[in-house]
Amino acid sequence: MRAFLGLGSNLGDRAYYLEEAISALTRPTLKIVTVSRIYETEPWGVMDQPLYWNQVIEVDTTLEPLDLLHACQAIEHQLGRERKVHWGPRTIDIDLLLYDNRASESEELKLPHPYLEDRAFVLAPLREIAPKLVLPSGKSITEVFGEGNVHPLMR
């Protein structure tokens, strides 16, 4: 199945955490298809924190959505993610944005990601790697920009 994951980091060596997360995601049940550039973005929610580096990756996986979510959470934990403040600073965040055309409204997993179309820091890298994507709302990725300032890094 095709899925898109959003990665973000704003503590410590942001490049290291993004690279390590992508490396840890690579496994027999999950193949990295495409990786966006890194974008520097303003925080979302809690504004008094360092700037984020964000990426989106496209994956092909045999994992079911909840299993993929749990794999992402395990990697976050391995890389020192602490869940102290909602929308607070973190070493790494891995969000399941889209999973094929599936929807979920369970307590543990909401698909598509409930803030997908609101966040420029997800939409810009998603638009880069999937310019023909039609979002679950029926809108083209080229029509939706979200909120926030997003700047691609020259890396």
Segment 74-121, tens digit of pLDDT:
999 999 998 887 778 999 999 999 999 899 999 999 999 999 999 999
pLDDT category, 155, cuts 50, 70, 90?
A: low
- Superfamily covering domain 2-152: 7,8-Dihydro-6-hydroxymethylpterin-pyrophosphokinase HPPK (3.30.70.560)
138: three-class secondary structure by DSSP: coil
> Which is more confidently placed, 45 or 108?
108
* Annotated domain spans of the chain: 2-152
Q: Which residues are catalytic?
A: 81, 90, 93, 95
What is the predicted pLDDT for the residue at 82? 87
Longest CA span, the chain: 39
Per the structure block, which two tokens stand in for 155? 């890396």
- Name beta bridge partners: 141: none
DSSP label at residue 84: -
Instruction: Give the pLDDT confidence score for residue 140 in this predicted structure.
Output: 97
Helix (H) or strand (E) holding 74: helix 65-78
pLDDT digits (tens, 9 = 90+) for 115-154: 999 999 999 999 999 999 999 999 999 999 999 999 999 7
- Cβ distance 1 to 99 under 8 Å? yes
Round to whole Å and give the CA distance between 2 and 4.
Answer: 7
Q: Please list the residues that pair with 41 across neighbouring strands.
A: 52, 150
